[in-house]
Structure 1
Amino acid sequence: MRLLLDSFWRAAAYCMRPRVIVLSLLPLLVIVVLAAGFGYFYWAPSVAWMRQALDAWPLLASFWSWIGGLFSSDVPALLAPLVVVFAATPVIVLVSLIVVAGLMSPALTQLVAERRFPALAKKKGASFAGSVLRSLGLTLLALVAIVASMPLWLIPPLVLVLPPLIWGWLTYRVMSFDALAEHADAEERAAVLRQHRLPLLAIGVLCGYLGAAPSIVWASGLLFAAAFFVLVPLAIWIYTLVFAFSALWFAHYCLDALGQLRLQRAEAPAPLVISSPESP
């Protein structure tokens, strides 16, 4: 419990550091770059294609003519850019978050290691490629578990328990592995994860609940369409900040636990070996 609370407050304090705040703003920069590139290369063809698609729907042809008679305007021409924006936004956001998440977790772990554990030896027990493949495999398992558990969501209490538990398990397995990848070897990593399984799972579940906070802002963006372009960047920034806090929490906990494990092993007395007398 001491380690759990200590790592929590340290992670919260680290979120106020300028480096962490700058990292949390990276998705917005990536989104601006991706959106500018999409607008430069694909905006006109995408709007033209969407306009043709809206005009080609026979069921909507009469509806467009009726709306156009009321407002004396070309409704498909007005809707096509909006549909392209709303369709492209989730893709751009998802790509930016994946890119930044892959950059943030190692950077935040390195920040914690440099400031708190500079003397902790790096045994490099996992490669970057292995970490990525493991994360993809665990994410696939979590998605299968989510889909398989959906019928149980009809039971009111379970819908509040099962999804955060599954995502918490995924967060615990991925982030604890990434936090120890640089400093622990395979045996030490297994020992830390085995000894601290329940606290790490609790951290993952709590971070899973925290990750639901941006959905409130997303819902507000849908309700107040006029503020969509303000609320959506705010939700992205909150989500990234929650991710940074989660990575920092796991880094503080796992590296502290690894340091304690090595200290215990160094202080443990060497086993006494009693040699048997040689036979004549």
Structure 2
Amino acid sequence: MQGLADSFWRAAAYCLHPRVIALSLLPLLISGAGVFAFMYFYWEAAVATVRATLESWLLVESLLRWLDSFGLQSLRIALAAIVVLAAVLPVVVLLSLLLVALCMTPAIVRLVAERRFPTLEKKRGGTLLHSVAASLGATLVALALLILSIPLWLIPPLVMVLPPLIWGWLTYRVFSFDVLAEHASAEERRELLQAHRLPLLTMGIVCGYLGAAPSLIWAFGAMAVVFAPVLVLVAIWLYTLVFAFSTAWFAHYALAALQALRAQRAERELRPAEPVAVPVSEVLLVEDGSSGSAR
């Protein structure tokens, strides 16, 4: 717990570093450009398609007519837009996570290593190709779990538990590999992930709940739909900062664990070997054999 708390506060301080803030702008620009391209070319068509689909369902249409009787006709368009936003946001989160893993994680790990672990040897046990493959594989699994768990979100307690747990597992899988790729060998990485699986998973779950916090900006109802372009940019930047904090947290914890592992190994190698006790019977046999050969 001491290692978790120490690395947590160090990571929070690193989020205020000018280099980290500057690095957070690159994923924001890429994700923002992609989201705005979608909204410019496909937003109206997507909202119209979702609205037609909802109105074709008798139960939803009855609910909308009941709302119309109270003068809430604008909710027809707002509901369709909210559904489209709810479908787009998970993609935005995953895109932000992948961009942070590819663009920010190496730079943040280098920053942490330069400032706190300057003497830590780089064994480069993971390549960029391995990192991309591991990240994409974990992302596909997380997407499948999210899609399969959507019916369970209708149960109020589970909607507050399942998505953060899935995001937490994904964060744990992606960042545990990436922060050790440059400094640890493949064998050291496997040993560390095995020995520290529970703390790393705990960190991932905490980061998963932190990653759910930016979604609260969509709690303004219809006003969130009106200001959707601006709120999307704010959400992307908040997601990027959360993932940058997660990277720094995992980097501080994992590199400290790697340094401790190597120190333990060096201590075992420098420790003098203990003398092996040889039974007296074996000594007598050797002496008798030597005497016999001499005779």
- TM-score for the superposition, normalised by structure 2: 0.70
**2:27–2:103 contact (8 Å) kept in structure 1:** no
Which structure is larger by alpha-carbon Rg, 1 or 2?
2
Contact 1:123/1:182 (<8 A) preserved: yes
Answer whether contact 1:221 1:231 (CA < 8 A) is retained.
no
Q: Which residue of 1 aligns with 2:212?
A: 212
In the alignment, which residue of structure 1 is the partner of 2:7?
Answer: 7
**1:158 aligned partner:** 158
Structure 1 residue 273, shift from structure 2 partner:
6.5
Q: Residue 215 of structure 2 contacts residue 235 of structure 2 at CA under 8 Å; is this kept in 1?
A: yes
Distance 2:93 2:173 in 1: 21
Q: Indicate if the aligned counterparts of 1:112 and 1:251 stay in contact, CA closer than 8 A.
A: yes
CA distance in 1, matches of 2:175, 2:205: 12
Q: Structure 1 residue 29: deviation in Å?
A: 3.0
1:169 Cα offset (Å): 1.6
Q: CA–CA distance in 1 between the matches of 2:262 and 2:228?
A: 51
Counterpart CA distance in 2 for 1:33 and 1:163 is 26
Counterpart of 2:180?
Answer: 180
* Partner deviation per Cα, 1:223-246 (whole Å, 9 max, x = no partner): 344433332221111111001000
TM-score, with normalisation over the residues of structure 1? 0.73
Q: Measured at CA, do residues 95 and 257 of structure 1 come closer, stay the same or move farther in structure 2, by a change above 3 Å?
A: closer
The corresponding residue for 1:250 is 250
* C-alpha distance after superposition, 1:205-227 (max 9, x if no partner): 00000101111124448534443
Structure 2: gaps (5+ residues)? 56-76, 291-295
Once the two structures are superposed, residues 38-77 of structure 1 have per-residue CA deviations (whole angstroms, 9 ceiling, x without a partner) of 69xxx7xx59x96xx99xx9x9xxxxxxxxxxxxxxxxxx
Distance 2:221 2:17 in 1: 29
Q: Name the CA distance, whole Å, in 1 between partners of 2:31 and 2:194.
A: 39
Identity of aligned residues (%): 56
CA distance in 2, matches of 1:208, 1:185: 28
The equivalent residue for 1:223 is 223
2:180 is paired with a residue whose SS is: helix
Counterpart contact for 2:31–2:236, Cα < 8 Å: no
Q: Is the 8 A contact 2:28 2:240 kept in 1?
A: no
Instruction: Please tell me whether the aligned partners of residues 168 and 207 of structure 1 are also in contact (alpha carbons under 8 angstroms).
Output: yes
Separation of aligned partners in 1, 2:31 and 2:109 = 24
User: Residues 244, 222 of structure 1: CA spacing in aligned structure 2 closer, same or farther, 3 A cutoff?
Assistant: farther
Q: 1:137 to 1:229 in 2, by over 3 A?
A: closer
Change (3 A) 1:34 1:153: closer
Task: Report the aligned-residue RMSD.
Answer: 3.6
